[in-house]
A and B are shown apart, each in its own frame.
Chain A
Amino acid sequence: MKNILLVSLFLLFAFSANSQDVTKSLFNLPSVDIKNLNGEPFNTKDINNDGKPIIMTFWATWCKPCMKEHDAINEVYEEWVEETGVKLYAVSIDNARSSNRVMPTVNGKGWGFDVLLDPNGDLKRAMNVNIPPHTFIINGNGEVVWQHIGYLEGDEAEYIEIVEKVIAGKKID
């Protein structure tokens, strides 16, 4: 049993090594059925920004650093969009208990970015998010090129630096 397990893991890793030689991306944005803010079905393959980078953050209404992160981004979001054309999708992982408070929270706070609902964690699992906040940067080809766990005051400055590097085609370390 152990051997089979090891073999399967090895194969998975071997494939991953192989695939990462082909492109520098971490992984492709998966295609998962979630919902938009109005509760309508939304497949993540429909996420696009006309070839420009995308920031995706996972958050929840009960997550304190997430709320701080979004408040901070909201203050500079208009500038970001003007300067880089970046688009932010904030994916709420609030479950049935709190998913109905997402829209009132987003509007009440006056956040200007796109919000999606992942009430049973389908996208969260597909993107291996443990705990929110977890932020991804996706290039124009739908490839995840950078990710970051947690939020500390001021982290948003790093996000936009990475986005600028992606646009300029520079290496991200």
Chain B
Amino acid sequence: MKTLLLKSLTLLLVLISFASQAQNFLEGGKVNGNINIDAQYYSEDDKLGITDSTLNNRKFGMNAFGNVIYTNGDFSAGLRFESYLNPMLGFDDRFEGVGIPYWFAKYKVGTLEMTAGHFYEQFGSGLILRGWEEWTLGYDNNFYGFNARFSPVKGVMLKGLVGTQRYFWEPYEAGNRGIVRGVDGDFFLNDMFEGMAESKTKIDLGGSFVSKYEKVPSITYTIDSVYYIDSVKWTQQTTYQMNLPNNVGSWALRANIARGGFNLYAEYAEKGADPNATNDYIFKNGSAFYSTLSYSTKGLGIFLSTKWIDNMSYKSKLTESGNPAMLDINYLPAISKEHPYSLATVYPHATQPNGEFGLQGQIVYSMPKDSKIGGHYGTTLTFNYALAKSIEKDIITSDITGGIAGTDGYTTNFFSIGDLTYYQDINIMIEKKMSSKIKAKLAYFNQTYNKHVIEDNIYDDRNMVDANIAVLDLTYKFDRKNSLRTELQGLWTRQDDGDWAAILLEYNVSPTWFFSVQDEFNYGNPVNDLQVHYYNVSFGYTQKSNRFSVRYGRQREGLLCVGGVCRYVPASTGLTFTITSSF
């Protein structure tokens, strides 16, 4: 690893020095960057059952990163330094360490942009390829290799990449994980053809192809067949080896058509036979469809999304599965709304890559100012509905493996919808400015959550949670700088942990200070001892682009989700200190 890093950094330096000579480096160059430090000190807590031994005697956790980017004209180079000492609770132990998991050098000449080192890239909506990072999740599947973007003529954007992906701190070595190759093209017809330049209909077509190469492991099954010859028992052992593919390809086609206030996006993707640990080693092709139709005009926005996913887990190492999600080549968006209120995120949705049908609709309507129902300042209404269900599957089993492994797994029909509900969310929010001092938001959510499917990978309906949630969010502005925000939230359910109530008081002094107290109380927990107050006191100070915050209190156990990717966060008690700074 050391030599690799050494080489990479030398390369970086060489590139920088070349750039310096070429463009009078000292004159125009700029450096910017940022630092983020989250540090937690954990306390024992009888109420939550947290002791030094459950904490593995790690009283302190710190996740931190710093970025530095140097830019000079069309050249830039940068790196991200990360440290997990130790990883905070809820982050995998394998993150423990310090290093530079991301560095790059990039330049642009004409319409060609080349990146060497680490990079993030997305083809279409990401159904077959997306590299991205989300710090709060500890998610980073960056590519390490070369990336090119080229626009040969106006309206055409071509992309190509070859790379390996990040796996905790483990450096790439031949054979320890796969190599990803991909090409993508975007064609904006209105820019390409003069005859269409003035057309009110805007059409964008795109397509991509991705392939992964991997040195496959040997997976074998041994069957004993017993037979008798002259009453003598003979056993014949036959060993079968799974014929795993070295190369797994995938392709996707997409179109975006816009006219007036209407916009239609649709993408279809298919993946070749990819037996892996997530799909239980089945040989079936994978497929995915994702579309959104929207209409909007001033004061009104409507959209309807659908998706259908079948066997689309696509990773650059076939034996990798489970949590945390690593080595994902593609991204399967969850189509439900991400809510900003804490009790509305107790039951979040996570995409099920082995098969899911999803539907979502939303209407945002702003009643005009000075109208009868809109009031003097206007009122905004948002209605949202999201549903995720299973897809139909007729299971095929194998005599050799005793399960679906080694077969096509199941048969299904495109866009079939199964009986099992994974998730449903019906929600409505009213936002109204009552006077120049008072702003109010009122929201209601009804959520159905299949705990077995989302948390435990058990595909039945024997652990469904039906929850009703209400939120009142009031902001009172004393003057230009001082304001008080209160949130009152309630969650009512007969299942799981029962009812919750939450209150938040937040006093802000713009643009510098905030102070807040918060309590989430699980008063309806069927177990008396678990009727816990999850209290938090926090304080924040902003000075230019530095932000400091200190929080003391209890963290509720749960799933933290961003973009349909979730991380399990265990319960904890302690002091958290955060510094975010940019320069």
Contact = CB atoms under 8 A, between A and B. Distances in A.
A31 B108 contact: yes
Contacts of B136: 131
A96 B266 CA distance: 12
A125 B296 CA distance: 30
Contacts of A120: 120-122, 126, 130-132
B130 to A, nearest CB: 7
B340 A107 contact: no
Interface string B318-340: 00000000000001011101111
A26 B366 contact: no
Contacts of B126: 95-96, 120
B545 A147 contact: yes
A62 B339 contact: yes
Contacts of A107: 261, 296-301, 364
Interface in B65-86: 67-71, 74, 76
A30 interface: yes
A108 B364 contact: yes
Interface in A89-121: 95-98, 100-101, 103-110, 119-121
Interface string A26-48: 11101101000011110000000
Interface residues of B, number: 105
Contacts of A63: 340
B285 interface: no
Given A120-B122, A121-B120, A152 B296 contact: no
A97 B301 contact: no
B388 to A, nearest CB: 13
Nearest to A100: B292
Contacts of B475: 68, 153
A106 B545 contact: no
B303 A100 contact: yes
B263 A152 contact: no
A105 B298 CA distance: 10
B294 A149 contact: no
A161 B481 CA distance: 14
Interface stretch (A9-17, A79-87, A163-171): A9-17
B298 A128 contact: no
A19 B122 contact: no
Nearest to B113: A33
Nearest to B13: A8
B305 A100 contact: yes
B215 interface: no
Contacts of A130: 34, 36, 135, 580, 582
B165 to A, nearest CB: 15
B13 A11 contact: yes
Interface in B293-323: 294-303, 305
B450 interface: no
A27 B32 contact: yes
A100 B337 CA distance: 12
Nearest to A13: B31
Contact of B68 (A9, A131, A154): A9
B34 A16 contact: no
Contact of B70 (A15, A97, A109): A15
B483 A104 contact: no
B265 interface: yes
B220 to A, nearest CB: 39
Contacts of A64: 340-341
A39 to B, nearest CB: 5
A149 B547 contact: yes
B480 A104 contact: no
Given A96-B122, A152-B509, A41 B362 contact: no
Contact of A100 (B13, B265, B545): B265
B301 A4 contact: no
A8 B32 contact: no
Contacts of A148: 511, 542, 544-545
A39 B2 CA distance: 42
Contacts of A11: 13, 16
A41 B188 contact: yes
Nearest to B583: A26
A95 B34 CA distance: 22
Given A128-B33, A147-B582, 9 more contacts: A15-B29, A15-B31, A19-B31, A101-B303, A108-B380, A148-B511, A149-B547, A153-B475, A154-B511
8 contacts: A11-B13, A16-B31, A64-B340, A71-B431, A104-B364, A110-B366, A120-B132, A121-B120
6 shortest A-B CB distances, which residue pairs?
A108-B364, A104-B301, A108-B301, A16-B31, A154-B510, A107-B296
Interface of B: 2, 5-6, 9-10, 12-13, 16, 25-34, 36, 67-71, 74, 76, 100, 108, 113, 120-122, 125-126, 130-133, 135-136, 149, 157, 186, 188, 191, 202, 204, 256, 258, 261, 263, 265, 290, 292, 294-303, 305, 331, 333-335, 337-341, 362-366, 380, 382, 431, 475, 477, 480-483, 485, 508-511, 514, 540, 542, 544-547, 563-564, 580, 582-583
